[in-house]
Amino acid sequence: MTMDLWSVLPVVLLLSVVAWNLRSHKGRQALLLLASYLFYSSWGYSFLVVLIASSLLNFFWGSLLRRHLTLSYLWSGAALNLLLLGFFKYLPPLLHSGWAVSWQPEFFHDIVMPVGISFWTFQGLSYLYDVYREEEIDPSLLEFCLYMAFWPTVLSGPVCRLPNMLPQFRKEPVFSWEDISAGTLRIIQGLFMKMVLAQLLASGLTPGQGVAAGFDQVKSGLGGLDVWLLAIGFGFQLFFDFAGYSHIIIGGARLFGIQVPENFHRPFVSTTPSIFWTRWHMSLSFWIRDYVFVPLAAARREHWWPYGVFVISMTLFGLWHSAKLTFICWGFYHGLLLVAHRLGQQAKRQFAIKLPHLIGVLLAWGATFAFISLGWIFFRANDLHEAFSMFRTVLTPAAYRHVAMPDSFYVLTASLIVAYFLFEGLRTLLSRLRLRSAEAASHAPPAILRQRDLESSLTVIAVELFEFFAQRMWWWLTPIMFVLALFVSLAVLNQSSVLTTTPFMYTIF
């Protein structure tokens, strides 16, 4: 038996508002924990039991580890967390595939993975690692349970770390219009990305003509252009969906004065695979870097070892998503990309290859974007056979002579992709203009400032106006996005009697 999420959410928000106005630290934390448990229980009371059990396990094991600061205690705590995660996340797929049919108990068939277990298990693991590294953290049981279950992040992250969250749980609440404005803007932006852009790419204006349908008709014979646009389109669909979700979560927490880690920062303008992984799913990427890659890389001194650690770390990244060969191959593929990039850097230094700066940047961006996009084939394909079939199509020149997707797919997908890069380009241009005008104003004497020509003055005024409206964007952006979302919904409803919206993708991980 579970409660409906939408009936619980108003109570959760009310408890959070009341908690935000309390002056007692413990009272505020207790109310936030109650709100978080109430929110999570709407997904299943049994899931809540598992979350509480994991919280108690990590808290008391952390206390034990603090008294016995040895690797054996650390690895034992990590093993308990991974055992719990493996039981719920990786055992059911093995059993459902027919593995070990002769001995599996009947109740194994009823195992259901608690939503968000991959995220809050990693938070528990990071706590144990930070204790072992003697970080200055001393949470109470109440504070640690709140850290594990904080309702904005408990379902799909961002993956938080206790040293960043604990001071915020303990600080006095201060009302801030900046928090309200920034939080509201992030929520609006996230809803637009998730409910409009991701939905459009997934199903198209006409249901059955989007990215999802394209991957389901691989066997009917896609052309080379089809595969490229499906791969790129799915990457943007995933970005709009998960980055949109992250904006909603970050904005929701910000309304209550709490800042959680960023998850995305313009990933598709990255010029190297390494930069991409500092901008995509950042909270998890940095977790893998700090708790997997760095310790493993420091374990051996052979010059080839870091390359192996790249592949190991990224393969584990893929396995984290699911125990499917497609995800494992996706991680392995990205490990090889990182190795190839590192080797390419060494070759560039050795042979002193020099190109004009702009050409070099464009080539680096184009190659990175192309290889990252091809990797999404592994992530989205239904199986390895389908993935390799799509790769063969991309590498077959004759496959570019025909197309199989409807015209609306090409128009919609290409338009959204181009619009994204135009938006990023405009934002970069305005940012540079603002920086340049600020630097000029700070260094120029008053007499020179008074003698600026009309063009410079208009530039400064335009930048200042942009800053003014950008900081108050939710005032005027809300009605625009509402009208656009309504238009898209009506367009979809015009083609189908039932409006279906894709769920948040990362709740399945």
SS3 content of the chain, % helix, strand, coil (to 5): 75, 0, 25
Q: Which residues contact 292 (CB under 8 A, 6 or more apart)?
A: 312, 313, 316
Domain spans, the chain = 5-101+109-173
Residue of higher predicted confidence among 109 and 379: 379
- By three-state DSSP, how is residue 203 classified? helix
pLDDT above 90 for 492: no
| pLDDT tens per residue, range 313-363 | 999 999 999 889 999 999 999 999 999 999 988 887 777 777 788 898 999
- Phi, psi for 406 (deg, rounded to 5): -70, 155
Nearest in space to 395 (alpha carbons), one of 229, 223, 234, 230: 223
Residue of higher predicted confidence among 501 and 344: 344
Confidence of residue 216 (pLDDT cuts 50, 70, 90): confident
Q: Which residues contact 257 (CB under 8 A, 6 or more apart)?
A: 20, 168, 171, 173, 174, 176, 179
**Axis-axis angle for helices 224-255, 384-394 (nearest 10):** 120
pLDDT above 90 for 136: no
What is the H or E stretch that residue 110 is in? none
Confidence of residue 1 (pLDDT cuts 50, 70, 90): very low
Confidence of residue 46 (pLDDT cuts 50, 70, 90): very high
Burial-class residue 192 by CB neighbours within 10 Å (0-12, 13-18, 19+): buried
Q: What is the mean pLDDT of residues 447-452?
A: 51
Task: Provide the sign of the torsion angle of the four alpha carbons 271, 471, 185, 117, taken in this order.
Answer: positive
CA triple 40-44-48, angle to 5 deg:
55
Residue type, 267: P
Q: Which residues contact 200 (CB under 8 A, 6 or more apart)?
A: 210, 412, 416, 488
Q: Answer whether the bond into residue 306 is a cis peptide, omega within 30°.
A: no
Q: What is the pLDDT of residue 501?
A: 45
Q: What is the pLDDT of residue 223?
A: 92
- By three-state DSSP, how is residue 98 classified? coil
Q: What is the mean pLDDT of residues 18-30?
A: 91
**Axis-axis angle for helices 357-380, 224-255 (nearest 10):** 90
What is the signed CA dihedral for 398, 404, 408, 411, rounded to 10 degrees?
A: -10
pLDDT above 60 for 449: no
- At 15, list the tokens: 């408890």
pLDDT mean across residues, the chain: 85
Distance between CA 141 and CA 81 in Å, rounded? 18
Q: What is the pLDDT of residue 478?
A: 58
Distance between CA 348 and CA 285 in Å, rounded? 26
Greatest mean pLDDT range, 28-42, 199-213, 453-467: 28-42
Q: What is the pLDDT of residue 175?
A: 84
CA atoms within 13 A on the CB side of 12: 22
pLDDT above 60 for 490: no
CA triple 247-182-432, angle to 5 deg:
90
Range with the poorest average pLDDT among 130-134, 210-214, 293-297, 346-350: 346-350
Reduced 3-state DSSP string for 281-350: CHHHHHHHHHHHHHHHHCCCCCCCHHHHHHHHHHHHHHHHHCCCHHHHHHHHHHHHHHHHHHHHHHHHHH
Q: What is the pLDDT of residue 205?
A: 78
pLDDT above 60 for 504: no
Distance between CA 128 and CA 63 in Å, rounded? 9
Distance between CA 437 and CA 461 in Å, rounded? 10
Q: What is the pLDDT of residue 474?
A: 52
Distance between CA 35 and CA 258 in Å, rounded? 15
DSSP string, 488-504: HHHHHHHH-SS---PPP
Q: What is the mean pLDDT of residues 141-157?
A: 96
Reduced 3-state DSSP string for 217-246: CHHHCCCHHHHHHHHHHHHHHHHHHHHHHH
Q: Which residues contact 396 (CB under 8 A, 6 or more apart)?
A: 224
pLDDT above 60 for 487: no
Residue of higher predicted confidence among 218 and 309: 309
